Amino acid sequence: MSSTDENKLVPKLRFPEFNNDGGWNADKVGNLILTITPPKKLLSSNYLPNGDYPIIDQSKSFYCGWTNDKDAIITNDLPLIVFGDHTCILKLAYEPFAQGADGIKILKSNELIDRIFIYHFIIYNPVKQEEYKRHFSILKEKIVLFPNIKTGEQQKIASFLSSLDKLINGESQKLEELKAHKKGLMQNLFPQEDEKVPRIRFKEFKKSGEWGEKKLEEISENVMYGMNSAAVEFDGENKYIRITDIDEDTRSFTPNPLTSPEGPLEERYSVNVGDLLFARTGASVGKSYLHRKENGKIYFAGFLIRFTIKDAIPYFVYAQTLTNHYQKWILATSVRSGQPGINAEEYKSYPIFLPPDKERKEQQKISDCLLSLDDIIKAQSQKIETLKEHKKSLMQNLFPNFNGVSV
């Protein structure tokens, strides 16, 4: 460590019992970790028998299945740090696991540093995925700041941050359960294939009779493709929505970054509240988006198709694009010799289930039920983001500023 750094290596926020312990040390990750050779064999990502241990594979977002092949299980010296060399995903493995592919580095720390502490520090100062094919070599050059392991400060920080992770993971599990509950509910609030009534029906509508079907074009108007304009820096007023701006999971408008369409703007390409947009090509074909007032003035791009719903409640129609029935239709309809695709005429033919009441009371009841779940899911998502921001802020103060620190 350079002499000019000595006085800098003290965190802004410190547990009281360590206030008089002096400055922290600095060293490279490569000097603090050891690489472990996995046992006997790697498992193919296609090797997915039912078993007791997760298979870790960086190409499959780390977890790709389960195995009971005991010759492949890593059981010793847990927890271990697992690093995906091409994805930069970092995990702590607390339970026995199997390595599923090349590109996985299994790490443990030496006697100078607690491995859970160094895991959190690497999370704080990560390797970026854009640095493709040189990730582990870059990771080894990263500088880690750490107090003397004998004082117990490393372990205290690691335990504190791990408890926050446990809280965040618990709230994330609740979020997944809410999403699963909504998904399961939707399958039963609309009729299944070859059925005329939903399996779950609000009691006031149980004697209302069978549902019918109409093609999407029969309850829509203003069907058209979007504008063929490049995306430019956001002008402060006119937003641009492309396929990539629609979140795969939530189907919300989540641009990164926010953009505007280039060139003159025609009003016919603006999206009205309640309009449905559909992705018409590529891996995301079938992805849908319902425009809401809070998203403001938006123009839609050429790889999207707009439907203005006129003879049904827009959310009720949109909800049916989140069902298994819709996904099966997308898979069957989008088959092409090249890229998957569905054009406007094909989307027009999609069958929408409709209850018999002309006043749309059952449509509204179902929409209100699902919207209330959306609100709960959104609140839970915001809670998780708040916790993550809280942890990020704490880490900025629990670790010293390492800018300018050299080894």
Q: What is the pLDDT of residue 6?
A: 47
Q: Residue 2 pLDDT more than 50?
A: no
pLDDT class for 132, splitting at 50, 70, 90?
low
User: 104 with 228, same domain?
Assistant: no
CA–CA distance, 33 with 136 (Å, rounded to integer): 12
Q: What is the pLDDT of residues 88-126, one digit of tens each?
A: 888 999 999 998 888 889 999 999 999 999 999 999 888
Please check whether residue 379 lies inside any domain of the structure.
no
CB 149 within 8 A of CB 24: no
Q: Name the pLDDT band for 5 (thresholds 50, 70, 90).
A: very low
Amino acid at 240: Y
Q: What is the pLDDT of residue 56?
A: 87
Residues 223 and 98 in one domain: no
CA 90-130-397 angle, to 5 degrees, is 55
Do 219 and 273 sit in the same domain of this protein?
yes
CATH of the domain at 136: 3.90.220.20
Q: What is the pLDDT of residues 152-190, one digit of tens each?
A: 999 999 999 999 999 999 999 999 999 999 999 999 999
Same-domain pairing of 125 and 66:
yes
As a whole number, mean pLDDT of residues 234-260 equals 94
Say whether both 92 and 219 belong to one domain.
no
Q: Which pLDDT does position 8 carry in this prediction? A: 65
Average pLDDT of 10-17?
94
Show Cβ contacts of residue 96 under 8 Å, excluding neighbours closer than 6 positions.
53, 73, 74, 75, 78
CA distance 278 to 269: 14
Reported as a single tens digit per residue, the pLDDT across 116-128 is 999 999 998 887 7
Q: Is 203 contained in some domain? A: no
Rounded CA separation 215/348 (Å): 6
Share of the chain above pLDDT 90, in %: 73
The answer to whether residue 34 is domain-embedded is yes
Residue 100 pLDDT: 83
374 falls within a domain: no
Whether the predicted pLDDT of 143 surpasses 50: yes
Q: What is the mean pLDDT of residues 50-79?
A: 84
Same domain, 104 and 222: no
- Decide if 178 is inside a domain: no
Q: Indicate if the pLDDT at residue 200 is higher than 90.
A: yes
394 shares its domain with 341: no
CA distance 126 to 292: 36
State residue 252's pLDDT score: 93
160 and 53 in a common domain: yes
Same-domain check for residues 10 and 158 = yes
Domain encompassing residue 232: 212-354
Does residue 300 lie within any of the structural domains?
yes
| Cβ-contact 198, 189 below 8 angstroms | yes
The reply to whether 244 falls in a domain is: yes
Query: Domain check: are 52 and 159 in the same one?
Result: yes
Which tokens sit at 339?
């890229």
The token pair that represents 175 in the structure block: 């979020």
Question: Does residue 405 surpass a pLDDT of 80?
Answer: no
Same domain, 133 and 280: no
For residue 1, pLDDT over 50 is answered with no
pTM beyond cutoff 0.95: no
| Both tokens assigned to 92 | 């702590």
Mean pLDDT over the full length of the chain: 91
Question: Does residue 283 surpass a pLDDT of 60?
Answer: yes
pLDDT at 103: 83
Judgement on whether residues 161 and 222 belong to the same structural domain of the protein: no
In a domain, 286, yes or no: yes
pLDDT on residue 181: 96
Summarize the confidence of residues 130-144 as an average pLDDT. Answer: 82
Domain count, the chain: 2
